[in-house]
Structure 1
Amino acid sequence: TGTARFTNGITTGTLLATTGVNAANCTISNAVHTTLSTGTLTATTMTTGALIATNTIVTNSTLTNVIGTAVTTGTLLATTNVSTPNVIVTNSTLTNIVGTAITTGTLLASTSVNSTTITTGSINANTGTFSTVSTSWLSATTITAANVSLSGNLNVAGTLNVVNITATNLLDTNITAGIANVTTSLCAIGNANTIGSIFTTGGNVGISTTNPGFNLDVTGTARVSNGITTGTLFATTGVNAANCTIGNAVHTALSTGTLTATTITTGSLVANTGTFLTVGTSWLSATTITGASVSAVNASATNVTTGIVTVNNSLSAIGNANTIGSIFTTGGNVGISTTSPGFNLDVTGTARVTNGITTGTLFATTGVNAANCTIGNAVHTALSTGTFTATTITTGTLVASTSVSSANAIVTNITTGILQVTGGITTGTLLATTSVSSASIQG
């Protein structure tokens, strides 16, 4: 009764302790315990219904069934499974985990994670760590990852914020992304689907407009770097392009640097200063052409208003009352400053010809005023000139207000102030109303 102390040890077949065994070191071949409390328990084989350890540190242990409040171990090897409400593991390699709730800093699955349903506040996959989910659903409030690859569909009820998305099919209510690259097609189903300033309504796509009325409705300016190919281009305001090739164009107002067209039919074609219109061999049909310079092989117009008209070959006026400035055409005649030309060229006023006039008959009702005039045969009613030089003059009456100088003159009637004859005068009758003054008179 009391305490027994053995310095060397106790060897016994069966040790029955009703209260307990307290020893610094105890080696037992086969022990059956109701309650065992020990600092270090070393056992070759342990068979127990339940092992309850309040605080247990095990270096290497193979256990069939472990129920513990807290287990700290270097390596935990479970051949069948580990069943516990909570497992807190710093680094662990597990063959199969079935858990109600798993909290871990890093979850590394070398093969795969298979689950019917994963419901969690957040799944964080760091760089170099990838997760594969089978055909079941993945439900999460927030998914943060460098890359997410899906073989099926990704359905997001809230908002998906990612840097890059690579998916075969992407179906979402709201997408907010820096850059969206669609390799095959972008389909918007329903109304009021919004991507930035892009809106879809009834199959139409609108940019900066919430009610697109066309397949593509853009409010603002659209820039297409490679080109636009369309059957009909309808612009309510204007078309601004560096180069534009149109098969058939109907314009209310067209403003362009260079316009090249096979056929142009327009009410009014306006070319500003320094802007040129080049038309090929086809016709240019226009009601009014206004421009600094207009060059054409053949030009047919109802009205031409221009500063200078240069005609290389011929100017043809067809019809009556065609007006170009003060030029009028009537019945094939051209009148300048007269609306009723009676001759092929009828000028009311003064005509100035710098190089000369060549004509069969020159008929002047008033007079001819020229510095030099060479006439083969002239018939004059009244001739007024400074100096008149002629080889032969045939006239009814020659009236010279100043003088007549001739080497040989045959005159029927002459009235003159001074008659100077170098060779001589031959006449039938010499009638001098005032006097005849001569150094020598032969009669």
Structure 2
Amino acid sequence: MTPRIGARMGYVTDAAITARRLRALREARGWSPAAAVEQLRAHVAEELPAAAELLGAWQAWESGGTRPPSHYQSAIATALGTVTAALFPPDRPEHELTSADLDQVRARLARRAVDEATLDGVRLVVERLCTDYGRAPAEQLIGPSRQWLHRVLAARDTARRVEVLDLAGRLALLVGCLEYDLGDRVSAEASRRAAADIGREIGSGEIQGWAYEMLAWFALTSGDHLGVLAATEAGQAVAGQHSVAAQLLAQRAKALARLGRGRDMETALEQGRRLLDHLPYPANPRNHFVVDPAKYDFFVMDCYRRVGVDRRAAALAGEVIATDAGAGRSPMRLAEAHLTLGVAAARAGDLEQALAHGRTALGFERRSLPSLSMVAQDLVAVLAQRYPGEEAAAAYLAELSRCTAAGA
């Protein structure tokens, strides 16, 4: 007896979002529903229903009427080249801190009263700051982040030294990222090294891995692609099975794409996808120092844009934009997604759409200037090559130059 291959609605995750992503990723590969079913068969060891029944099930999944059963979800994600939880994410509660909670944590740190309750409070503060990284302007976030780093470091000489330093290391990573976003590369490197030193002192492969990931990011946005490969190799040696290992592979793939090594790029992306697929879904996927499945698809988008696989890059960019759905949670991802759509439109001969997406990318208040400048160069190159005499293109390039000048 063959298994039942669909369950009626009533699950937690929004079926419409899953259905949209299934359809978008299938179409990006140029597959019909029937072809997608055959690809699914290649990734499932058990006996599957007859072709007509399985095709009907796939069409129901894409309509949002039913949800693929859990034992098919990994195979579907593998066939579509994504991480399982990017298609089927569970819901997670958010942590909140009141002003009174913050005052109490500050007071206890000042008295060096570092007990479990104090540590729990600081963990929530660090979690919130790292979550705010993706949406709050760097200029607003860097002050509180530095203040909390100083408070935590001042309380390190206690019986809970290792736990306190772990939190300080994470704050140093955050401060370094914010400094780099603001164009202060010297301070960013100092903060990164401080985090790396803390990671080594307490034996945290995760903190050391993120310090190397930052080094790879600095190298990537500076055009030092061989430096990216060296940094990611060193990071993978210490990161273990933490999710940063997947991001290191993604940064490696980005560098390989820019070096014209497409096959090696695909290998690195698949290694990262497999690693992430075997990790539990993060408690807070919006924490900057957590690689959530949707974030990994965002990295894949960058690689495909760079190597000219515009159909897949545009599909993933569309998902980045649709997933945010006006929530403003990831403006930096949104900016890069619009630039990706702009590059795809420019290559397809649609200058008007290319410039519209390009201008949208410049309209977000939350920016990482080095990353924005790096990705924008792909659009600059296409516009310069294909539209050298267009006044509209020249005007946009001038606007882009003014916007990114502060990150030079």
| TM-score bucket (shorter structure) | under 0.3
Q: Which has the larger radius of gyration?
A: 1
With a CA cutoff of 8 Å and minimum separation of 6, indicate the structure with the bigger relative contact order. 2
Which structure dedicates a bigger proportion of its chain to strand?
1
